[in-house]
Amino acid sequence: MTLSSVSIQGYRSVRKLYLPLRQLTVLVGGNGVGKTNLYRSIELLHAAANNTIAAEIAREGGLASIFWAGGKNLAPDGSFDPKYRTDGYRAGEGNKLILEAQLELDDFRPSYRIELGFAGIDEAAFSGEAQIRHELVESRDGKRNVRLMERTNQALWARGADGQREVLDQHVLASETALATIRVGHPEIGIVRQEFASWRFFHGFRTDVDAPLRQRTRAITSPLLASDGTNLAAVFATLRHIRGDTADLDAAIASAFPGAELVVPPPEEFATFGLIFPETPKRTFWPHELSDGTLQFLALMGALLSYRLPSFIALNEPETSLHPSLLPALAHTIVKAAERSQVWVVTHSQPLADAIAEISGSRALEVARDDEGTSIRGLNALGQFDDD
């Protein structure tokens, strides 16, 4: 299933944005323009499927910290007034976050929309906690949209197997998503939930002395990398000893570290890995000895070249801690992964964006920011680029 577009309204630096996605989407821009906010917006859709969206927003400081707060505070007559924002709403009236995603799988084209706001006075919720005000799952049928599920506050209905609306009496808390709660008798909703839940997000890996990447892992067949990289050794062991094919992985390592060899011993109770460098051919460097940048690069290889890739992979600033000499190999691996998975990359590095564009033929999108918030240069409100 492909994520064809995402719409974001009222999230941090993003006032309102509709962004169509490709099989490989690369966003590049400087500090403070809102690239990470775009990344986090999609990660919140993942959290909605896992019923953790309220907790994720709480980790960011709560709703008051994440709502759109840009603008010049201009009143309708053009004068400065702190009670007004650029979008014309009085402060407080526009306090909502709306996320929407459009998916495609052959003839099944579902969309999911969620709106969050503050709790009402009579709701069983904490005052600063994110509350789901509205949820909607639709499917495109020819030229019309068919509503499969709708939730307004605590009122919830879904379309049953006979095509009729069924009011669901299950109690959904204001901080819980209906997408995660509806489980039986509604397979279309389950498909959307499973799709969002399967996505993987990688925003740097710990490389300190106690980092999971530096530890042995239990020898368990691991077809894809965990978001924190805890099973990296098992991912490499699965490729080498279960799949029996590490050609792409070996090529990437040879490109990044000419003459180096990845060592993956047959695991017994635990799995581990190491690198042999041409300067020291009789010495294996194990994870606890590798440099931060080398370990970061190997973790990215595990994320992008694992036995089975998720349908959607998001990388946030993958160039962090990497020497510039490693960027061509990383670019090649990203493009290779996009043959098996939809890939979204957010980066500060123009050289990395240029290398990906040269290999894939797909240009990077430049993220910008002004008084109207975060935007994509050349992208109009209809989701079309000026030079298309």
* HEC sequence for 275-307: EECCCCCCCEECHHHCCHHHHHHHHHHHHHHCC
Taking alpha carbons only, the member of 18, 19, 26 closest to residue 319 is 26
DSSP state of 326: G
Query: Which whole-number Å values give the CA distances from 169 to 155, 174, 212, 384, in the listed order?
Result: 8, 14, 44, 42
The pLDDT of residue 82: 52
List, edge to edge, every strand of the sheet that includes 261-263.
261-263, 274-276, 284-285
Question: Alpha-carbon distance 312 to 306, whole Å?
Answer: 13
Query: Are 351 and 327 a contacting pair, CB within 8 Å?
Result: yes
The pLDDT of residue 86: 47
How confident is the prediction along the chain (388 residues), in pLDDT tens digits per residue? Answer: 899 999 999 999 999 999 999 999 999 999 999 999 999 999 999 999 999 999 999 999 888 888 886 655 555 565 555 555 544 444 444 578 999 999 998 889 999 999 998 866 556 667 778 899 999 999 987 778 899 999 998 899 999 878 889 888 778 888 899 999 998 888 999 999 999 999 999 998 999 999 999 998 999 999 999 999 999 999 999 999 999 999 999 999 999 999 999 999 999 999 999 999 999 999 999 999 999 999 999 999 999 999 999 999 999 999 999 999 999 999 999 999 999 999 999 999 999 999 999 999 989 999 999 888 999 998 877 777 766 5
Question: Alpha-carbon distance 299 to 31, whole Å?
Answer: 24
The pLDDT of residue 4: 96
Question: Alpha-carbon distance 318 to 349, whole Å?
Answer: 9
Question: Domains (ranges, CATH) in the chain?
Answer: 2-21+51-182 (no CATH), 201-367 (3.40.50)
DSSP state of 80: B
Question: Alpha-carbon distance 52 to 50, whole Å?
Answer: 5
